[in-house]
Chain A
Amino acid sequence: MSRRWQALGATLRRTAWQAVPTVIGVVVLNFFLMQALPGDAADVMAAEAGSATAETMAQLRQHFGLDLPVLEQLGAYLGHLAHLSLGNSPRYNLPVTELIGARLGNTLLLMVSALGLALGLGVLLGTVMASLVGRWPDRVLSVLALLLYSTPGFWLGLMAIVLFSVKLGWLPTGGSASIGAGLSGWALLLDHLRHLVLPSLAMAGFYVAIFSRLTRSAMLEVSRLDFVRTAEAKGLHPLTVTLRHVLRNALIPVSTVAGMHFGTLLGGAVVIETVFSWPGLGRLAFEAVMARDYTVLLGILLMSSGLVILANMAVDLLHAWLDPRIRLR
């Protein structure tokens, strides 16, 4: 057991080291993208104030270090980063880590519930489809999955608002909690959950389709292998064979794809959070683009790349657990 934990620790360390060049690459790539963006925070702040003299603008730029040469700015940013600081936002006059920290929880809550919902529903539907391959439930579900696969998440969300909020009045249209309701305890939790349902459903739709299609084809692939025939020949219950032998192995490609789509899910958060006025990172990123607040944007891009790397590490570990033959190297 302890050897296994050691191997685990070694894997984590190795993956973390391998991620270092990627992270530096992401920082440098994003930094130069930011430099290519027209205008800077001083422009937007001056425009919002309504007027600004050339002196004020110069003063603003000097204050935020926007007048320094590009490489010097990059050096300063990397220096900050080494101290685990993402710099200060000129616009909000707050440390970027604080801004991100205030929103990160909301986005993670949304993503985790959407991903959980998508995996749960997708694997369940995929298992049903694979078990009844060729029969009518399989065909109906396949068509449904293809339809979901073709639907933009934000439109699904808008249509869900029309049905569940406007017509039926069951669920709130947006936000992450009722404002000024003064709720506490269970009522507060319930209120949060009610706000979470529609956004996570809208976000999950596309991934339910992906995971169910993938589970179906992976299970069909696995179900032809010899060990499945052996398990059946041993007289195991068909349900045991399906769940412990076929599904377990089919989950390997499913989890690979889930890891690959983690970044897409984060990007999709921008649109879903806009539809449901959900106060999360995606919304913050979009506002940062609009306000030319590049320090915030850079921080968010870096943070989301970090999340993607972490997700891939988690998938590696999951593989080792699902299939002991996949060694922790």
Chain B
Amino acid sequence: MSESLSVPSAPAAPAAPATPAAGRWLALRTLLRNPAAVAGLLILLAMAALALLAPVLFPGDPLDMVAPPLLWPGQDPQFPLGSDSLGRDVLAGIAHGARISLAVGAVAAVLSLLIGIVLGALGGYFGGWVDDLVVRITELFQTVPSFLLVIVVVAIGQPSVPVIVTAIGLASWPVIARLVRAEFRSLRESDFVLAARSQGFSPWRIIVQEMLPNALPPVIVTTSVLVATAILIESALSFLGMGDPNAVSWGSMIGQGRELLRTAWFLTALPGGAIVLTVLALNLLGDGLNDAFNPRLRGR
């Protein structure tokens, strides 16, 4: 989104190519003074802690029957969020589901960052036929509706966490590729790149050590949205029953709760609430990062 409203003179980009690190510290300090972003960060850390501690707090398989079926939240203090029709603890499911959601979100985002940065950097730096090729491939992937692509790729492999991660990563890199390509195209003509080129540095070194650090700020901002989108895609996928059948995930809990929507709607509402909370935290963080890296827009 920031692309369409791009600011040619954003101080974050080519202003201080020598020490992008200094600008980054300033951005971090700005970020930590933004209450909304800090709230997002805290929620995210709490979710991560819940995910990490799930095996300790809720030992045993969350798919096991441990409680009387269909306890409402608050009915039995031992199971504060109630239980589903098979007597599975909803709170344990949400805690273990956090592992899947966060892991899928993070790894899929890393994968699409890798593909997007490599393709975008190559196209933006070299131009010519390399760029044409990159643009064509990006267009191709943007033309196929990405959720359909994810479904097809998951159907090719079997539904398991690695396959789902690959599918989401394969479907969501074009945004990053376009962003990095645009940054590289504008950086390519700048003085410090010219200087590096005249010193005879290899393209590899110029791309990785000189240009990439300066192209990163918009990518960092987009990353939190990327993770959020990946979490949403995973939840939709497992809602449809195409998730990993051996693991609890928020989406699959919603899918199973849907059968009892009329009588026990809390089974659908609670895991959905967890998704909203996590994605909201990521979006708050993303907005905060955006403000921190684009000081010109600050105070809006």
Contact = CB atoms under 8 A, between A and B. Distances in A.
Interface of A: 21-22, 25-26, 29-30, 33-34, 36-38, 133, 146-147, 149-152, 154-155, 158-159, 161-162, 166, 210, 213-214, 217-218, 220-221, 253, 256-257, 260, 263-264, 266-268, 270-271, 274-275, 285-286, 289, 297, 300-301, 304-305, 308-309
B145 A159 contact: no
For the complex of A and B, the 3 pairs showing the least CB-CB separation, nearest first, are A267-B147, A155-B272, A267-B145
B136 A264 contact: no
B261 A257 contact: no
B236 A264 contact: no
Nearest to A149: B283
B287 interface: yes
Contact of B136 (A25, A271, A301): A25
Contact of B236 (A154, A214, A305): A154
A157 B140 CA distance: 31
Given A150-B228, A253-B4, A256-B4, A297 B152 contact: yes
27 contacts: A26-B144, A33-B153, A34-B152, A37-B152, A37-B155, A147-B276, A150-B282, A151-B276, A152-B239, A152-B275, A152-B279, A155-B235, A155-B268, A155-B275, A162-B261, A162-B268, A166-B262, A166-B265, A217-B297, A217-B300, A256-B4, A257-B1, A260-B142, A263-B142, A271-B240, A297-B152, A305-B145
B287 A289 contact: no
A22 B147 CA distance: 19
Contact of A263 (B143, B272, B284): B143
Contacts of A257: 1, 4
A280 B232 CA distance: 22
A301 B284 CA distance: 34
Contacts, number: 144
B254 A155 contact: yes
B269 interface: yes
A26 B140 contact: yes
B178 to A, nearest CB: 10
A158 B265 CA distance: 9
B56 interface: no
A22 B228 contact: no
A19 to B, nearest CB: 9
Interface string B234-278: 011001100000000000001000100110010011001001100
